[in-house]
A and B are shown apart, each in its own frame.
Chain A
Amino acid sequence: MILSGAQAVVECLKKENVDTVFGYPGGVALPLYDALYNCGIHHILTRHEQGAAHAADGYARSSGRVGVCISTSGPGATNLVTGIATANIDSVPMVCITCQVTTDALGKDSFQEADITGITAPISKHNFMIHTVESLPEVMTEAFYIASTGRPGPVIVDIPKDVLVSKAEFAYPEKPQLKGYKPVYSGDESMIRTVVNVLKQAKKPVFFIGGGVMLSDMADVVLELVNKTGIPVTASMMGLASLDKKHPLHLGMLGMHGTYAANLAVTNCDLLITLGARFDDRVTGAVSKFAPNATIVQFDIDPSEINKIIPTNYCVLADLKWSLPIFTKMVSACDIKPWVDEVLLWKKEHPLRFKEDTANIKPQAVICAVDEAKANDAFVVTDVGQHQMWTAQYAHFGHPRALISSAGLGTMGYGLPAAIGAQAANPEREVWLFSGDGSIMMNCQELATAVEQNLPIKIFILNNQGLGMVRQWQRMFYGKRYSGSKHEVPTNFQLLAEAFGAKGLTVHTKEELKYAVTYAKACKGPILVNVFVEEEENVMPMVPPGTALDQIVE
């Protein structure tokens, strides 16, 4: 079968069972867009390339499949950069196809030329530039293979226009052969046995679960592991949904805005068993005082995560898919009742709480109102800032992929396009988005995409008329000097939604909030609810930056 490069790309996408791609066309991308026309793959036109990247990310996180986005050269490609970095730090499998100027125009400062492989080298799992049409199918298989195996991540494939239009015999290679890439799967079983023995000696063990549990689809096994051993569990934001928060041993999130019980448990434990987490500085607080008395055990797929931040005593280097079932089989119930009693007392005496003591709606109350209304299999997407932390604290997540948030990079503007991706991948399920009046503005143009695709995303803006998290830090650490963090001219978000053709609502009172949640749940198209909330509310508890986790302020 003789195909053009562009047709070959489409064939490759079909071979990889891609049903939806997110993208934005442009000059040198035209041959590829011509091949996409009526090809059977659903192309979602976003209103900005950054939106396409985040949408592919939301698609991938919600479905576990590789998200695909497409852009033209130059500015199209550079607009993907924030989305690529966001996916990279949270290990999200993505293939980003960037079109490039023709091979003979490369390196000549041609119109819309940017060295996207050079730019994305440090913020992607890998990248390729395709130089000949003959190598295209091979590179595409490699890209999908690299993106989705081992520790997942975004892979960029840069394709010059002349490669898109030249023709070659098409054959899709079976399994890629990469000399330098051998993703870890199985590991050393004796290490697991060692960990089991270490666990037998422990009086105060804690599990710390991260995004790796969700990435390897091991939430069920973690539940079994926790039930069998009776060990308390804390989680990073990426791992938070991997165990039902209502589980009595789930202590909630660890770190800066984590719970009192989680932070105290980790500080006082004698054994910390980490499952697919990477010790982000928002989790550890002062590294030297993190779990100071604990033996550290790390289950991870990535050798470069071992000893990176916290010195590891024992590591099981393997895919959790391999190691966790074996570990779970080997362990038995732990005799740690005094410890569990102590931890559960912390949990009982120091719950997350907020006071509804103002006339204004408290932002946390919005999260709780939505939480009660949403379906158990719903997705909860967030932007970045205070609302994100309140979501992590107060929302419940019915399944491991339920929480979709830019955890590592903290990308404002992530939420709306990610919600579009999640809804596109899961048309039958509810997608609720919490955003702020800061974050939503960073990609509000994607409301047009949501309307065009009739994606019934339910957007709740926690509107405190400024940049809440920045203001919180200015309030706490910069003597209330609110530099550059107030929105002096309010935006009418209801009108904004209506301008895009979405339903818009404005909420000032608790009664209006209740109505808006009910309305949003029933709404068949995208809806934006602008909720005016208490402006000066802080996210609490908080571990001040650079201090130990037990220095938590409630």
Chain B
Amino acid sequence: MKQQHILSVLVENSPGVLTHISSLLSRRGINISSIAASSTEEPDITRISLVVEVSDYEAWAEILNQLENLIQVTKVIEMTNESPIARELSLIKVKASPDQRAEITNVTDIFRARIVDVHPESMVIELTGESQKVDAFCDLMQRFGIIEIIRTGSVFMSRAPEAAAE
């Protein structure tokens, strides 16, 4: 059984850091299902939010230790069991003939998504939320015809009053 793990990895913002992380995971045959990296409240520190699928729990504990061992990694935070706030941003381009627009707009409203661009043949919709919400929205858009989907990958924040790194 594959299990999903959510990781927040704080790293030095320097070249090669992603190579080190991805080569460590790929060596074990672990697939990264989502990855998002960006700057943090600390200068020079980047946060990499990872969702990976792992089949063996004991191997996973070992991999966390090996990640911690990487020189450029300052902190590895496993967030899987604390149901963190999860969000991803997606842009969805759907086919939108004039007679379909009303219904697309309707669904967009229900999901609290936003229409950010309109073309005579298509619309671009922006949606933020948990991955499942984005999945559900994309499913509904399927019948109009999805031209393109772009998703940022999930980012996570713990609900605790302090920063996750502490």
**Chain A residues close to B by CB (< 8 Å):** 117-118, 121-122, 125-127, 129, 131, 146, 178-181, 302-304, 306-308, 311
Contact = CB atoms under 8 A, between A and B. Distances in A.
A122 B23 contact: yes
A127 B15 CA distance: 10
24 contacts: A117-B16, A118-B16, A121-B19, A122-B23, A122-B24, A126-B71, A126-B72, A129-B15, A178-B71, A179-B12, A179-B44, A179-B74, A180-B11, A180-B70, A180-B71, A180-B74, A181-B71, A303-B68, A304-B65, A304-B68, A306-B65, A307-B58, A307-B62, A311-B58
- Quick one: which of A117, A129, A180, A311 has the most chain B CB within 10 A? A180
B45 interface: yes
A307 B60 CA distance: 11
Contacts of B23: 121-122
Interface in B17-41: 19-20, 23-24, 27
Contacts of A127: 16
- Quick one: which of B15, B65, B73 has the most chain A CB within 10 A? B65
B71 A146 contact: yes
B69 interface: yes
A118 B19 contact: yes
Nearest to A306: B65
A308 B66 CA distance: 10
A302 B69 contact: yes
A311 B70 CA distance: 23
B16 A122 contact: no
- Quick one: which of B16, B27, B44 has the most chain A CB within 10 A? B16
Contacts of A125: 71
B63 to A, nearest CB: 9
Contacts of A117: 16, 19
A121 B17 CA distance: 10
B69 A304 contact: yes
Given A118-B19, A121-B16, A180-B74, 5 more contacts: A122-B24, A146-B71, A179-B45, A180-B12, A303-B65
A144 to B, nearest CB: 13
A82 B138 CA distance: 48
B160 interface: no
B69 A308 contact: no
